[in-house]
Chains A and B, each alone.
Chain A
């Protein structure tokens, strides 16, 4: 028995070691690719005058689609902020997804809305639209409000697509703070790529503790709370390193649900957002990509490193856990729905690289990590652990993680340098040391919980997302969407 356990331990140690090496190797490759992409982008765009798109009649037209569900605390301010973005040819479509609070009434009163005889062309399936409203005031002519039966975020976005009259769709979370020049920057790739661009995304940043005035971000601060601070680091790593690298490979599988610009024609052709998943943002991009491959058309999904959208990150562990749980379930649902892509050469980078990467590293990594920890504890209880070797292996992962986060911070420093205060930089660097010990185990736990819930066939619940809001705590808005 002892001999068996000893052999098992050796195999276990080696398996963990080689898997870790594989993961770390992939991170190094992605970091290098990301550095090349970022460098190219920064050089190319240092000459750009974005005002040229702003005023040009040749710029593509954009519909901003923002679903709203029980947003009474912030809806007026949010709409005002969307109406003042720097772009010429755009409309704002707010989709009231059957709110139970006074969201709709507030919009009616403040923006002096009246019902118009809008005949909706249901090109994409969605729940009944009760009415389409326009403002009586000319200053709000860009605004359209759609009132519909509750159907969840995907359904609301699909309703918005059916009402949209423009070429591109900017799908956003209504409570996000959008940078004034966000559309300009997201629209540019549609005008400059050789191949058809089907979607663009930008970097989403954490707005906790930042100063917000009139729906605009006026001062960037590091979150005071530790959990959002870890998320700052996590987002910098994911957006500036991961997604930029995948953009370079033209293998991006996800455009953040908080903000993404899509080609309307392609979105309609693939049937819009899927109602049956909580990972609708990822699923749509995968479906659009596979459609383009099936049509034998060359295309690109582009990511740009500019910080374009600021969102409030969950500061409460329970809410954060729900969010991560949902992300995991969304990933599983998308991977399962498109399982025929797995190492399928017909789908090029999507089938041979992006899908397997997500399968092995995004979905499987936390599961393997959890299994590894469980076996480690079991072996330790049975007294069959070489503590020295185990400590060395753990330290390797820990130091690699710190190094990776530090490189991400360097990327941030060399590109947009949002955290200008020295104290904020120090906090971020310190977070890199604490994150693998305090935060990472929790994300693994939530991911495993998401897997278990999915296997047990749990519902498609989004879970409650309580936000404190950027004003005061009295104004906190609670959003809960259930598909």
Chain B
């Protein structure tokens, strides 16, 4: 009997004949050993199988991608004078010959058509849209949107959005206030692009939060889409949903909507400090001199962050009405307040820097250092 045979016999023996005679902790240990050994072997096989299957799928994708790209690249040579139906009749049979029942091929074809559609305009985009429908991929998209699984719904909404399937806008609308944050964001993003009549209608009914991330995504979509008719966002500033108000404030800021001035000023008394801060920022950016007094009145009611923003805005407006107030702030106990007040004074293009130089000679060494900091143009605020 060789060494390994002896080991195997011993292991066999303790797991069969002797197991019941061991104390309970040793029995449990033996069972854990057995479980772990089997688990490790199975995991090894699984990892190896997964790698092999991945490699195989990758090969398949590479082959079909090349084939699909070749077909789709040929679409690019056509221009507006060519007949869409003729082009489709030429390419459709070639695509139909592909094994479209194969999930990998089908998914690849869908994603390639979408990518080309996203990157090209004019005739190419038009042909791809028609081809998408002719291949019944739009029906699949619709099915996906109606699926119970939120991930599939998102996939469908993305496809509809990328392919510009406007008739699905109403269908997507119901998800714009869904409990699932990801789903409602996708739906809102798609609705803005697909709705032909009222792309911002979802803001009227939004009860769920529009998270900061979603606001960022929606902001990008709204500000980059040149075809979109931009409404006056002030009409949503009375929304009971603070996140809707916040998104609209960011858009008012971006589009410089002066017509919102009155509503923005009203928000200085809002219960949400983030909204107050943003309103103050907009007042400064739009240089709303009429709101200066209101800002001054609420200055002492707020914490440091809003105070800093008010000082900043007073500096941007630079009407001169609050020059005394700004000068008095440099004797505050808070360095940030002092610095912001000095920056605000500096913003007065006519006399700001001279005023600071004047203060420099009359103030404390600490303030002198701050003034030198503020006057140093190499330091960004």
Contacts and interface: CB of A to CB of B under 8 A. Distances in A.
A80 to B, nearest CB: 21
A58 B379 contact: no
A192 B378 CA distance: 35
Contacts of A191: 211-213, 216
Nearest to A188: B213
Interface in B323-381: 335-336, 339, 369-370, 372-373, 375-376, 378-381
A24 B28 CA distance: 13
Given A47-B182, A117-B372, A392-B30, A165 B212 contact: no
A396 interface: yes
Interface string A133-155: 01000000100000000000000
Nearest to A402: B40
B217 interface: yes
Interface residues of B, number: 50
A308 B82 CA distance: 49
Nearest to A192: B213
Given A47-B182, A188-B213, A121 B335 contact: yes
Contact of B40 (A13, A47, A403): A403
B372 A119 contact: yes
Contacts of A402: 36, 40
B369 A119 contact: yes
A49 B151 CA distance: 16
A389 B26 contact: yes
A392 B29 contact: yes
Given A17-B25, A392-B26, A116 B32 contact: no
A56 B216 contact: yes
B339 A121 contact: yes
Interface string B214-243: 111101100000000000000000000000
B144 to A, nearest CB: 14
Contact of A119 (B51, B373, B381): B373
B376 A410 contact: no
A53 interface: yes
Contacts of A422: 51
A14 B23 CA distance: 10
Nearest to A24: B32
B19 to A, nearest CB: 11
Most chain A C-beta atoms within 10 Å of own C-beta, residue among B28, B44, B217: B217
A422 to B, nearest CB: 7
A393 B217 CA distance: 55
Contacts of B130: none
Interface in A1-51: 13-14, 17-18, 21, 24, 43-44, 47, 49
Given A116-B376, A402-B36, A396 B182 contact: no
B154 interface: yes
Contacts of A117: 369, 372-373, 375-376, 379
Nearest to A433: B40
A410 B36 contact: no
A44 B43 contact: no
B76 interface: no
Contacts of B25: 13-14, 17-18, 393
B47 A425 contact: yes
Given A117-B379, A399-B37, A58 B32 contact: no
Contacts, number: 119
Contacts of A56: 216, 219-220
A406 interface: yes
Nearest to A141: B380
Given A13-B25, A121-B335, A191-B216, A406 B44 contact: yes
A89 to B, nearest CB: 11
A441 B306 CA distance: 56
Contacts of A116: 376, 378-379
B32 A407 contact: no
Contacts of B215: 58
Interface in B283-331: none
A165 B380 CA distance: 9
B309 to A, nearest CB: 14
Nearest to A133: B378
A409 interface: yes
A316 interface: no
Contacts of B216: 52-53, 56, 58-59, 191
B186 interface: yes
A114 B378 CA distance: 10
Contact of A192 (B46, B158, B211, B339): B211
A396 B30 CA distance: 7
B33 interface: yes
Contacts of A188: 213
Contact of B29 (A17, A165, A192, A406): A17
Interface in A98-117: 114, 116-117
B142 interface: no
A55 B36 CA distance: 49
Interface in B106-146: none
Most chain B C-beta atoms within 10 Å of own C-beta, residue among A18, A47, A118, A414: A47
B16 to A, nearest CB: 15
Contacts of B28: 17, 21
Interface string A404-430: 001101100110000000100100010
A56 B218 CA distance: 11
Most chain A C-beta atoms within 10 Å of own C-beta, residue among B29, B46, B51, B186: B29
B379 A118 contact: yes
16 contacts: A47-B154, A47-B158, A52-B216, A55-B220, A57-B254, A59-B216, A116-B376, A117-B369, A134-B379, A392-B26, A396-B33, A402-B36, A402-B40, A410-B47, A413-B50, A429-B47
Given A18-B25, A58-B250, A192-B213, 8 more contacts: A17-B28, A47-B154, A47-B158, A56-B216, A58-B216, A191-B211, A406-B43, A413-B51
Interface of A: 13-14, 17-18, 21, 24, 43-44, 47, 49, 52-53, 55-59, 114, 116-119, 121, 123, 134, 141, 165, 188, 190-192, 194, 389, 392-393, 395-396, 399-400, 402-403, 406-407, 409-410, 413-414, 422, 425, 429
* Among all A-B residue pairs, the 5 with the closest Cβ atoms: A399-B36, A119-B373, A191-B213, A192-B213, A396-B29
